[in-house]
């Protein structure tokens, strides 16, 4: 048994890295769309049509979410490069592969995330 027991195998790491890069691309697309939407919703348009407020708010949320997730993805890729990926950054326990597959960018185990 290696010291890496409980953390992802090389094969799993390769898959997770590909997934992280795919997610990063998706979120960059979201970011671009949200920025464009906010640019289109100038203050003037908001004054003319108050219903645009809702659209503006949802674009702001999208922007915030995408920014947060990209930050987490970059953190995950950096941990992968250091060989620390798959270990909870809070308690140090291995993060189950099932959780990594669903949310590969989360830095903590389920117990520590709540
Ligand atoms: Zn933990």
Helices (H) and strands (E) in the chain, counts: 5, 0
88 CA distance to ligand 1 middle (Å): 5
Phi, psi dihedral angles at 14 (to 5 degrees): -60, -40
Q: What is the mean pLDDT of the chain?
A: 90
Of 33, 24, 114, 36, which is closest to residue 77 (Cα–Cα)?
24
- The whole-angstrom separation of Cα 8 and Cα 94 is 9
Q: Which residue has the higher pLDDT, 42 or 79?
A: 79
Q: Tell me the CA–centroid distance for residue 108 and ligand 1, in Å.
A: 5
Q: What is the full DSSP assignment across 72-107?
A: HHHHHHHHHHHT-TTB-TTT-PBPPHHHHHH-TT--
Q: What is the pLDDT of residue 40?
A: 85
The rounded Å distance from CA 106 to ligand 1 centre is 11
Confidence of residue 5 (pLDDT cuts 50, 70, 90): low
The answer, yes or no, to whether residue 2 has pLDDT greater than 70, is no
What is the per-residue pLDDT across 24-61, written as a single tens digit (0 to 9) for each?
Answer: 999 999 999 999 988 888 767 777 777 778 888 899 99
Distance in Å, CA 112 to ligand 1 centroid: 4
Homologous superfamily in CATH for domain 10-113? DksA, coiled-coil domain (1.20.120.910)
- Chain-centroid distance of CA 1 in Å reads 32
**pTM for this model (two decimals):** 0.84
């Amino acid at each position: 048994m290696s010291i890496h027991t409980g953390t992802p195998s090389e094969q799993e790491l390769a898959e997770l890295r590909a997934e992280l890069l795919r997610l990063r691309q998706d979120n960059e697309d979201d970011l671009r769309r949200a920025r464009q939407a906010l640019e289109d919703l100038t203050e003037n348009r908001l004054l003319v049509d108050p219903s645009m407020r809702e659209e503006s708010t949802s674009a702001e949320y999208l922007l915030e979410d995408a920014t947060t997730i990209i930050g987490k993805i970059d953190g995950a890729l950096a941990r992968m490069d250091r060989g620390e990926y798959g270990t909870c950054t809070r308690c140090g326990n291995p993060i189950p592969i099932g959780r990594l597959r669903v949310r590969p960018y989360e830095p903590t185990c389920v117990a520590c995330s709540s």
